[in-house]
Amino acid sequence: MKRFFTPLAEPAVRRVVIASLTLGGAVGVFALSFGVASVSAGASVWQTCALSLFVFTGASQFSAMSVVGAGGSLAAAFGGAALLAARNFVYGLALSSSAKSMAGSLPRRIFAAHFVIDETTALALAQESPRLRKIAFWTTGIALFSFWNLGTLIGALAGSAIDPQKFGLDIAFPAAFIVMLLPHLRSNIGRQAAALGGVLCLISISFVPIGIPILIAASAVLVGLRK
């Protein structure tokens, strides 16, 4: 135990750990709303928890259940969610040069891959030394995984106990999406992609099966070809 707590005496390590835990708490709240929204969309408590345990990438989980809840096909729900998960591939690439020092042996790297998401990548890459990077990756990964799954379970149990429509909880999905979207609107090109994505979705909604408009909207990323 002493060996475990000694590094915390170091200010730099303490900063990283505090940042991870703060982020974990915030993500737990996100998970609450996922739990509520997912059972409102028709998933069971078990299915909702399985999404958080095994998919473990927030935006994809939200997207999948949002399409399912609207009555879309499972293929369409899967397609949009998979596209959103594709960014973890980019994060993995960004982290790969530190993968050996962060996770060591191949089996440990294979295990670490499950934790490659927005927050772990951001906090790990913000550190200067390989040692701090390793600490940031694992503390963020473990804190997020714990809070995300605990929050999901509580939200799912609460959500199945109330009438979601009556409490306006069908707005929980778009409200969470708005919060997730904001950081992407800081750049000009991000705003263009968002505007085009929204418009493409609304235009196509009446003409194609439910869920497909989300896939059509994905073509808005082609604004990245210019420049």
Partner 1 sequence: MINQSPTNLWLMIIALAVTAYLFKIFGLVILGSRQLPKVVDRCLGLIPAALLSALVAKDTFSIGQSLVIDARVAGFTVAVIAAWRRAPLIVVVVLAAGATALVRAV
* Smallest separation (angstroms) from partner 1 to the CB of 38: 11
* Smallest separation (angstroms) from partner 1 to the CB of 97: 4
CA distances from 132 to 75, 102, 111, 163 (A): 41, 9, 19, 46
Q: Specify the residue, 8 or 185, whose C-beta has the smaller distance to partner 1.
A: 185
Q: Specify the residue, 4 or 54, whose C-beta has the smaller distance to partner 1.
A: 54
Tally Cβ neighbours within 10 Å of residue 96.
12
* Smallest separation (angstroms) from partner 1 to the CB of 3: 28
The terminus-to-terminus CA distance of the chain in angstroms comes to 54
* Smallest separation (angstroms) from partner 1 to the CB of 65: 9
Q: Specify the residue, 19 or 112, whose C-beta has the smaller distance to partner 1.
A: 112
Q: Taking Cα atoms as reference points, which of 186, 182, 185, 196 lies closest to residue 225?
A: 196
Which of the 8 DSSP states describes residue 104? -
Q: Is 207 helix (H, G, I), strand (E, B) or coil?
A: coil
Q: Specify the residue, 8 or 199, whose C-beta has the smaller distance to partner 1.
A: 199
